[in-house]
Amino acid sequence: MVQMANDIGNFFRAQQREDALTGIANHIQSFWTPNMRRKLLGQIDRDAHGLDDLPREALRRLQANPLTKPYHSHGGDAG
């Protein structure tokens, strides 16, 4: 799961940091099962080796606010 979280982080890495963190948190909350989130959150509490900084911070935000869907700004090319 660490590798999957890092892959998501790499996808959003080109965005501004706050947008990337929001995108990562939104993706994980929207598409990962609660069990997957719990397992990875349990790992970061015990220092998940190999987890990049962006997904780590996004997961910490989800951990702090597990019931809040992260804000994702509208816009982009579709407008």
Per-residue pLDDT reduced to its tens digit, 21-66: 999 999 999 999 999 998 888 888 777 788 999 999 999 998 888 7
Query: Are the C-beta atoms of residues 25 and 58 closer than 8 Å to each other?
Result: yes
The pLDDT, as a whole number, for residue 78 is 46
9: closest CA among 52, 49, 40, 38? 52
Residue 69, in any domain of the structure: no
Residue 14, in any domain of the structure: yes
CA 1 to chain centre: 12
Band of pLDDT at residue 77, cut at 50, 70 and 90? very low
Residue 77, in any domain of the structure: no
Torsion 71-20-5-48 (CA) sign: negative
Gap between the Cα atoms of 67 and 46, Å rounded = 22
Looking at the structure of the chain, the number of domains it has is 1
Q: Which domain holds residue 10?
A: 2-64
Higher pLDDT, 9 or 67: 9
Residue 76, in any domain of the structure: no
Residue 71, in any domain of the structure: no
Residue 73, in any domain of the structure: no
pTM (2 d.p.): 0.80
